[in-house]
Amino acid sequence: MTLKDAPRKLRYAMVGGGRDAFIGAVHRKAIALDGQAELVAGALSSSPEKARASGRDLFLPDDRNHADWQSLLADELQRPGDQRIDFVSIVTPNHLHFPVAQAFVEAGFHVVCDKPLVHTREEADALVQAVARQSTVFGVTYNYTGYPMVRQAREMVRSGQLGEIRKVVVEYNQGWLATRLEGQGNKQAAWRSDPARSGSAGAIGDIGSHAENLLATVTGLEIESLCADLSALVPGRMLDDDGSLLLRFVGGARGVLIASQVNAGIENDLRLRVSGTLGSLEWRQEDPSRLVHYPIDGPKRIWTRGSPWLCEAAQRASRLPSGHPEGFIEAFANVYAGVFADIRARTDGAASSAHADYPGVEDGARGVRFIERTVASAKSGSQWVDW
Ligand SMILES: NC(=O)c1ccc[n+]([C@@H]2O[C@H](COP(=O)([O-])OP(=O)(O)OC[C@H]3O[C@@H](n4cnc5c(N)ncnc54)[C@H](O)[C@@H]3O)[C@@H](O)[C@H]2O)c1
pTM: 0.97
CA-closest residue to ligand 1 atom 5 = 23
Query: Is 104 in the same domain as 127?
Result: yes
DSSP 194: -
pLDDT in tens, the chain (387 residues): 455 567 899 999 999 999 999 999 999 999 999 999 999 999 999 999 999 999 999 999 999 999 999 999 999 999 999 999 999 999 999 999 999 999 999 999 999 999 999 999 999 999 999 999 999 999 999 999 999 999 999 999 999 999 999 999 999 999 999 999 999 999 999 999 999 999 999 999 999 999 999 999 999 999 999 999 999 999 999 999 999 999 999 999 999 999 999 999 999 999 999 999 999 999 999 999 999 999 999 999 999 999 999 999 999 999 999 999 999 999 999 999 999 999 999 988 888 888 899 999 999 999 999 999 999 999 999 999 999
With a 6 Å cutoff on the Cβ, whether 359 touches ligand 1 is: no
Angle at 288 between CA 282 and CA 293, to 5 degrees: 25
> 229 pairs with which residues across the strands?
244
Residue 102 lies inside a defined structural domain of this protein: yes
How much is the pLDDT for 351? 85
With a 6 Å cutoff on the Cβ, whether 92 touches ligand 1 is: yes
Query: Is 380 in the same domain as 232?
Result: yes
Residue 327 lies inside a defined structural domain of this protein: no
Q: What would the pLDDT profile of 224-233 be if each residue is shown by its tens digit?
A: 999 999 999 9
Contact present, 152 and 244 (Cβ < 8 Å) = no
Residue 19 lies inside a defined structural domain of this protein: yes
In the chain, beta strands by DSSP E: 10-16, 37-43, 87-91, 110-113, 138-140, 165-173, 223-231, 242-249, 254-260, 269-276, 279-284, 290-295, 301-304, 384-386
Name every residue whose Cβ is closer than 8 Å to that of residue 74 and which is 6 or more positions away in sequence: none
Kind of pairing between the strands at 138-140 and 254-260: unpaired
User: Between the CA of residue 296 and those of 157, 175, 251, 277, 282, what are the distances in Å?
Assistant: 14, 35, 22, 8, 14
CATH number of domain containing 37: 3.40.50.720
Query: Is 192 in the same domain as 339?
Result: no
Query: Is 160 in the same domain as 232?
Result: yes
Residue 62 lies inside a defined structural domain of this protein: yes
Query: Is 189 in the same domain as 287?
Result: yes
- Count the domains in the chain: 2
User: Between the CA of residue 229 and those of 209, 224, 245, what are the distances in Å?
Assistant: 15, 17, 6
How far does the centroid of ligand 1 lie from the alpha carbon of residue 153, in Å?
A: 30
Q: State how far the Cα of 141 lies from the Cα of 112, in Å rounded to an integer.
A: 7
Query: Is 138 in the same domain as 154?
Result: no
With a 6 Å cutoff on the Cβ, whether 145 touches ligand 1 is: no
User: Between the CA of residue 53 and those of 17, 19, 26, what are the distances in Å?
Assistant: 12, 8, 19
Name every residue whose Cβ is closer than 8 Å to that of residue 207 and which is 6 or more positions away in sequence: 172, 174, 259, 261, 270
Residue 4 lies inside a defined structural domain of this protein: no
How much is the pLDDT for 4? 55
Query: Is 60 in the same domain as 114?
Result: yes
Contact present, 368 and 118 (Cβ < 8 Å) = yes
Residue 159 lies inside a defined structural domain of this protein: yes
How far does the centroid of ligand 1 lie from the alpha carbon of residue 290, in Å?
A: 30
CATH number of domain containing 149: 3.30.360.10
Query: Is 251 in the same domain as 378?
Result: yes
Query: Is 310 in the same domain as 219?
Result: yes
Query: Is 151 in the same domain as 128?
Result: no
Query: Is 279 in the same domain as 189?
Result: yes
Q: What is the CA radius of gyration of the chain?
A: 21
Residue 47 lies inside a defined structural domain of this protein: yes
Query: Is 286 in the same domain as 338?
Result: no
Mutational test site, ligand 1, from 15, 19, 20, 22, max ligand atoms within 8 Å of CB = 22
Residue 1 lies inside a defined structural domain of this protein: no
With a 6 Å cutoff on the Cβ, whether 96 touches ligand 1 is: yes
Domain range holding 92? 10-144+332-358
